[in-house]
Amino acid sequence: MSRLTPLLLTCACATARIIGPPIATTPDPEVTRIVVIEPFFETADWQTEVEHVTQPLMPMSPFGSTVRGSMRSSIMVPNQVTEVTRQTKPLLAQIPSLTAEHKLVLEHVRRLRPAWRVSSTSGLAALEGAVTVVRTIIESNQIIETDRPLKNTAFAFGLLIWPLQIYNFWPVTETERAYGTLERYLTDAPTVKQRLVRYKTQPDSAFNASGFTPLKRQFGLEMTYEEGLLADEEPRKQVLIEAFSERLASAIVAIVEEP
């Protein structure tokens, strides 16, 4: 079994990648439109995250005082693991994520509908005529399916019963669902320009839609990914942001083209 150890470690540390069926898209009717996609809003609840931080302790002398200088190696003290609790928003509703998602969605919508003039509110100065404004409100994202607990159990018992580690040749598979609302406003460029409002948490202005009745559609977009059990979590965040943005762009195209 020792010959399989490098392969097992490679599989267990593989970073996240999106799997599953392709994103459903509708044929391009090649109709010219002006579409303004606002910077994203969020109404997600704050969540409590517990992070385990490993901190090395200073070696101690036999007399109870801290050992320094040439005596540091006299008595070694094991590292201390402490819990750090913090309040945070879900990944897709965090301010840096919202900015990245907005930029990616603009790119994806332009790719899906080349005939459209797609812009954020900052591009309104060069636009005239009828405008469709799209507002995105991200509410939450959560894991709805996972086999990670089973993989963790197999890994733990596999430290004693080696054949159980075979389960970790196959990656962890999880499905995350993002919830939110899309709103569509039909107006014109001069009206939008007169109703721009700046928000501190947004890189661009938003549309003051008071008095307008939007078309609203709720969404629940799913991203299924796989990764090694021992993989670094940081790459997964960018993978989810990119996958969510691509799916959201398709949903925005659908609401814009809805009668």
Distance CA 189, CA 59 (A): 68
Residue 226: closest CA among 212, 243, 213, 214:
243
Residues 124/128/132/135 CA torsion (nearest 10 deg): 10
The tens-digit pLDDT sequence of the chain (259 residues) is: 455 556 556 667 889 999 999 998 999 999 999 999 999 999 999 988 776 566 665 554 444 444 444 444 444 445 666 777 888 999 999 999 999 999 999 999 999 999 999 999 999 888 899 999 999 999 999 999 999 988 777 666 566 665 656 666 678 999 999 999 999 999 999 999 999 999 887 889 999 999 999 999 999 999 999 998 888 999 999 999 999 999 999 999 999 999 9
Query: Quick one: CA dihedral 96, 101, 106, 107, positive or negative?
Result: positive
CATH topology of domain 2-46+89-257: Rossmann fold (3.40.50)
pLDDT tens digits, one per residue of 162-215: 565 666 667 899 999 999 999 999 999 999 999 999 988 788 999 999 999 999
Q: Please give the model's pTM, rounded to 2 decimal places.
A: 0.83
The domains of the chain are located at 2-46+89-257, 47-88
Element of type H or E holding 171: none
